Amino acid sequence: MVKIIQSPVTPLHVQNDDRIGIYQKIAEAMTRGDFGGNIPSGNDEIGQLGKSLQKLSTYLQQQVERNQLLTRIMLEINLNLRIKDVLNHIYDSFEQLIPYDRISLALLDNKGDKLKLYWVRSNYKIQKLPTGYSSPIMNFGLNKLIDNGELCVLNDLESYYRKHPEFHSTKDMLREGIRSNMTCPLISTGTTMGFIFFSSCKKNAYKHFHYELLLQIASQLSIIVEKNKLYKTVRINKQLVEKKKKLEEQVSHDALTGLLNRPAIFNIFHKQLLTAKRNNFQIAAIMIDIDHFKKINDTYGHASGDTVLCSVAKRLLESARIHEYVGRIGGEEFLVILSPCDKEGAIKAAERLRVAISSREIGKEGHLVPVTISLGVSINTANTSDENQLLRQADEALYLAKNNGRNRVEITAP
């Protein structure tokens, strides 16, 4: 920044015509944003013009600096959604353009009848109105600002409090040492969301040109407050969706194994069978039972039994293809629905699942537990009435697999 130097007396060698030429060049430079250089003045009419030109130069330079600061705020808003960071940027940047010893921002609750200080920063330690302070809006005396959306400037808080002793927040501000205050509502889509406060320990601190600057700051803050509210709403909605999904998982999945539970797998079974009938393709149902599960519980304990159940469930799920649905229907019994699937594919799938369980033992607390499964397969035909008939056929095949030595696959004749 180039310092503007004012010459109090017109030098003798600077003639009137010379000064007019200098003024013309300075005016042209000012249009290019250059406010530096000496502006000769004097007590005659042309000298007075020089003084006016210098005042204009100073004013325009302040306007440029103010606009640059506002541009930085807009950049902060675009680059940073953290409103506290933007407020700290304002506090650190505007002291040359607007007087303040304290800046605070308060937000209205959803009902609009309570105000809470969201952010406070000051150059003194005593704070009667700290961050988190909450009170009914009537205690702040800001009801009219909500209604008319206008800026409120109080350059003599002591006098104001004598007339309005019912406003407790004014009393607390006076106890902090504040004597002047500007309050501007933060408005978005016609609704007041909160307020920004600029406060000074001096009386009559605020002039008319400060009002316009605060209005511009408030308009930018309104944008980021609204963005934060929208992002908060999005986050809340996302959390609700996640909670709903988690609840649905809990309702439809077995608590121990994580597989689809009995109602969920049967519901899928019913829907897949209806689809198969409409589109004239086959599906398969595979009933699975862990061999000698009671013996596993008796030999290794029920904790080991739970481990076996979970391990079997995990291996079944890992071995299943994208069109194969795996569920636990009770105890050590499982049901797998394959849709679509013909007889040959169903037998191959069942054998794949059997090998996945029997190929290696299951470890539990130093013990290696050998585990096998028996599987019964059924395929729907044109004569299949419903899923219960198909399930009975799979159960009959499972019974046959167990009677024929276990650790094997059997299928009912279509």
Amino acid (1-letter code) at residue 248: E
Residue 332 annotated in active site: yes
Residue 295, class by beta-carbon neighbours within 10 Å (0-12 exposed, 13-18 middle, 19+ buried)?
exposed
Contact 378, 390 (CB under 8 A): yes
Q: 332, 344, 365, 410: which one is catalytic?
A: 332
Cβ-proximal residues to 357 (8 Å cutoff; 6+ apart), any chain: 312, 315, 316, 371, 372, 373
DSSP string for residues in 327-391: EEEETTEEEEEESS--HHHHHHHHHHHHHHHHTS-EEETTEEE---EEEEEEE--TT--SHHHHH
Between CA 60 and CA 67, with CA 65 as vertex, the angle to 5 degrees is: 90
- What kind and span of H or E run contains 264? helix 262-279
DSSP string for residues in 387-405: HHHHHHHHHHHHHHHHHTT
Residue whose tokens read 């325009």: 60
Contact 173, 129 (CB under 8 A): yes
Q: Please tell me whether residue 301 adopts helix, strand or coil conformation.
A: coil
Cα-Cα-Cα-Cα dihedral of 44, 47, 49, 51, to 10°? -130
Q: How far is CA 117 from CA 130, 142, 152, 155, 217, in A?
A: 7, 14, 18, 22, 18
DSSP 126: -
Cβ-proximal residues to 144 (8 Å cutoff; 6+ apart), any chain: 152
**What CA–CA distance (Å, rounded) separates 15 from 17?**
5
Per-residue exposure over 382-394, b if at least 16 CB sit within 10 Å of its own CB, e if not: eebeebeebbebb
Catalytic residue numbers, as ranges: 332
